[in-house]
Amino acid sequence: MNVDAFLREIEAQHGYQGQVVHVHDVAQREAQYAEPAEPLHPAVKAALEAEGITRLYSHQVTAVDAIRRGENVVVVTGTASGKTLCYNIPVLERLLEDPRAKAFYLFPTKALAQDQLRVLNRWKETDPSLPVEAGTFDGDTPRDLRRKLRDQGNVILTNPDMLHTGILPNHSRWSDFFAQLRFVVLDEIHTYRGVFGSQVAAVMRRLRRICEHYSADPQFVCCSATIANPDELARALIGKPVTLVDNDGSPSGPRKFVLWNPPFTDEGKMERRSPNTEAQRLMTALIKEHIPTITFVRARVVAELLYRYVQNNLMKGSPRLAGAVRAYRGGYLPEERREIEQKLFNGELLGVTTTTALELGIDIGSLDACIIVGYPGSVASTLQQAGRAGRREEEALVILIAQNTPIDQYLMQHPEYFFGQTPEHAIVDPHNPHIAAAHLRCAAAELPVTAADEEAFGEYTPALMEILEEGGEVTRQRDRWYWRGRSYPARDINLRNMDENNYLIQDEGNDNAVIGMVDEYSAFTLLHDQAIYMHRGETYFVNRLDLSRKVAYVERGDFDYYTQAIDRTDIKIDEVEESKRWRVSEVNFGAVTVTTLVYMFRKIKFFSRDSVGFGNLDLPTRELQTTALWIIPPAAALARVREFQRIPEDGLLGIANVASAVLPLFVMCDPLDLGSLVDSSQTGSATIFLFDRYPGGLGLVEKGYELIDQVMEACLLLIRECGCDEGCPSCVGSPLPGYQAGSDQDTRGKIPDKEAARCILHDLLELEPYVPKPPSRQRRELIEQGPTAGAPAAAAAEKRSARPRKRLPEGVERRIRERLNKLKERRERGPSDGR
């Protein structure tokens, strides 16, 4: 496409108000080739030449040589750089030398496995004598083919989920395969972070102990998009040393990367036009020019909204093109996703709105433009999404549309930060006790657990095995624990979600057909009574959310609004694990219990985003045992804020909001993986809390505890650079509504205060004191209404707990016991409708 011509056309249109704030040219990169230390096997060389490959890139040669030496390898190069050859070549060479050798190829999605199977099949079609018997082994594989692959296959392409539930628990049937297993390939390991990555790390430990049982010691080959700590991540996943290969020698075409900031909509310059509105205009314009476009959004509902907006726009002037756009996201049934993937690959679709579900490297054909709505939360994810366009030598266009949030606006003002930033760290915690407990159940059912397994599953292993023994699931004989449970424990674990409660979505207007499935928190926020649920661009009204059957009953209808849930959060300190003096403040890290209540929802008009009503909800609270860091500012810093007629808690709320947005710049996670709040009930003084939104924590805020100085400096820089006066969503965040679940909880709400935040941060960082501007009349009126009411009286009265811990933190142990009891009750009750 002619990117410059398209941008000139957009800038000349009515409604353009200078949204293009920066254009970064990514130059074309020439290929760098090399020769392996030893010549390729003649059959491999011939297969490559049949594909038109006569030379190898430098990183491919480095990886092949290292794998030939018997090393575990992690390959980190750009999108479409030929990473698959890094493992296909040595695997094929080993098969030619030893036809009995086996390999597992693990991909995070079924679609990627199918994509790579096509590559292997092409090689086999080119030379039928190649000893490759490959196939995908997943939930879609017919039973007869599964047995054939297990007995006759030598390259099994699967995913961690199937390895976890279908292969490891049945390892005795795979004994010949495991005995000859020589390679385990983990592709796209940058996706294995957070909960998913920690679960996959536990599965890898179970895999290794089974391999050892069959006297096998396979090599691991990991591939990743660019991240800051690929070797550290690979080591954490597989539990073994790795050799890093990052000398990317692949070529790439030119690309223009545009930073697009929606214009202000008010004179006070606090509100900006919706990024979704900007995206629909840009995407519509691109599709009208027949430019294949992919648009990434942050949430499922936004993917559906944008699809609806673009389709409506196209129907007005180009109805034929309206059918060439689809939405694609998690929650669709597998057959729906496969259909969309195939249409994209065949060129039947010109546009797709998607979540991160299409971020990975599945071949969906040639795309010329990529729109990213909202900073994805990490440089690595942004580059990965941008890499979906421009896979040919022709110039491609990438547009990042900013949201009115602190990080997005900072990147708009400082593009050099993004384009000069090193990608973030990806973090996993394979020894998280909640995760370890679940996988020790699986491990015990596969092979007896011994004291030696403590190295793999962490220091809590003996304590966790005692809990399982008390529950009657294992029995101890000398130094071994043997499985005595009646269940199939692997089925109790969803690798991608630590929430054991999933809710079905049934369409009452279509014979209760199942149209999707979500976890419990998503059900409470997206599928509460009277919610508007979006699916495939259609609006569905939620008639009722059945908590006992875990089913949301919906019915399709035409609605001109959507809904947004509102919740409140309280926190309780369970244990202080680390504490330090940071400059003038006290900073702590430890175990906490976070209680969340979704208590009301807002109705919002399509397009205009006007609020058209509210509704109260009666949902149970959700309790989360996790980890947090908390900062207790000195009393003098808070008192100085009051001297300037401002409320310290409002300044701390602004800092908390910014900190939860800033931390993902240091740790590879989504801002939604973190929570923040300001609370005084636990410490006796207003305190900033940042916490992981996962049971047991995943090390995200622990990294923040280590980097507290850099995090707070980044907070001050972001707040200081914003052009607003009192604070806005671009810096200290949006106002919080008052809690009104009971008559005794009527509050004025909370409005983050930029000036108070700057004043406090200057003191925390021991900088020259900052003198805040006088508060506006609106803020003075809020101050006169009195301080924000705290948590409910019972919660406010709770004091910091200092219970002694012997092995496991008490909250963790209680949660693990509760989960095991739930599983036991579920087994005794048996299956039921809607489960």
- In this predicted model, what pLDDT tens digit does every residue of 184-234 receive, in sequence order? 999 999 889 878 899 999 999 999 999 999 999 999 999 998 788 899 999
CB 166 within 8 A of CB 335: no
With H, G, I as helix, E, B as strand and everything else as coil, classify residue 391: coil
Mean pLDDT of the chain: 86
Segment 313-318 mean pLDDT? 89
pLDDT at 710 over 80: yes
| pLDDT value of residue 476 | 94
Q: What is the rounded distance in angstroms from the CA atom of residue 250 to the CA atom of residue 265? A: 44
Segment 569-595 mean pLDDT? 96
pLDDT at 733 over 80: no
Segment 30-39 mean pLDDT? 96
Q: Which amino acid is at 39?
A: P
Tokens 């060479």, residue?
93
Segment 552-561 mean pLDDT? 92
pLDDT tens for each residue of 255-294: 999 999 999 987 777 788 999 999 999 999 999 999 999 9
646: Cβ–Cβ under 8 A, 6 or more apart, which residues? Answer: 753, 755, 756, 759, 772, 775, 779, 783
pLDDT at 347 over 60: yes
| pLDDT value of residue 407 | 77
pLDDT tens for each residue of 753-803: 999 999 999 999 999 999 998 877 666 665 565 443 333 322 222 232 333
Work out the widest C-alpha separation in the chain, in whole angstroms. 84
Pull the structure tokens for residue 217. Answer: 């010691």
| pLDDT value of residue 199 | 93
CB 680 within 8 A of CB 687: yes
| pLDDT value of residue 830 | 55
Q: How far is CA 259 from CA 235, 351, 370, 373, 397, in A?
A: 36, 21, 12, 11, 11
265: Cβ–Cβ under 8 A, 6 or more apart, which residues? Answer: 271, 272, 273
CB 392 within 8 A of CB 699: no
| pLDDT value of residue 810 | 62
Q: What is the rounded distance in angstroms from the CA atom of residue 526 to the CA atom of residue 564? A: 8
Q: In this predicted structure, which of 5-14, 121-130, 418-427 has the lowest mean pLDDT?
A: 418-427
pLDDT at 827 over 70: no
Q: In this predicted structure, which of 375-379, 538-542, 721-725, 740-744 has the lowest mean pLDDT?
A: 740-744
Q: Which neighbouring-strand residues pair with 145? A: none
CB 671 within 8 A of CB 693: no
With H, G, I as helix, E, B as strand and everything else as coil, classify residue 31: coil
Stronger pLDDT, 739 or 253, i.e. the higher one: 253
Tokens 């809690």, residue?
739
Q: Give the number of other CB atoms < 10 A from CB of residue 318.
A: 14
Dihedral angle over CA of 335, 338, 340, 341, nearest 10:
170
pLDDT at 745 over 50: no
pLDDT at 331 over 90: no
| pLDDT value of residue 50 | 92
| pLDDT value of residue 789 | 34
| pLDDT value of residue 378 | 77
The helix-helix angle for 42-50 and 83-97 (nearest 10°) equals 140
CB 719 within 8 A of CB 757: yes
Stronger pLDDT, 383 or 656, i.e. the higher one: 656
The helix-helix angle for 810-829 and 461-470 (nearest 10°) equals 40
With H, G, I as helix, E, B as strand and everything else as coil, classify residue 620: coil
Stronger pLDDT, 441 or 378, i.e. the higher one: 441
pLDDT at 537 over 80: no
Q: Give the number of other CB atoms < 10 A from CB of residue 51.
A: 12
Q: Give the number of other CB atoms < 10 A from CB of residue 28.
A: 12
Closest CA to 761 of 678, 640, 655: 655
Pull the structure tokens for residue 530. Answer: 């009277």
Segment 112-129 mean pLDDT? 89
Q: Where are the beta strands (DSSP E) in 633-779?
A: 667-668, 674-679, 687-692
pLDDT at 113 over 60: yes
| pLDDT value of residue 739 | 40
For 289, what's the count of Cα atoms within 13 Å in the CB-facing half-sphere? 18
For 438, what's the count of Cα atoms within 13 Å in the CB-facing half-sphere? 32
Q: What is the rounded distance in angstroms from the CA atom of residue 382 to the CA atom of residue 665? A: 12
| pLDDT value of residue 246 | 95
Percent of the chain surpassing pLDDT 70: 88
| pLDDT value of residue 794 | 26
pLDDT band at 742 (very low <50, low <70, confident <90, very high): very low
| pLDDT value of residue 346 | 80
Task: Give the DSSP letter string of 410-464.
Answer: HHHH-HHHHHHPPPPEE---TT-HHHHHHHHHHHHHHS-EEGGGHHHH-TTHHHH
pLDDT band at 364 (very low <50, low <70, confident <90, very high): low
pLDDT at 13 over 80: yes
- 683 φ, ψ to 5°? -120, -10
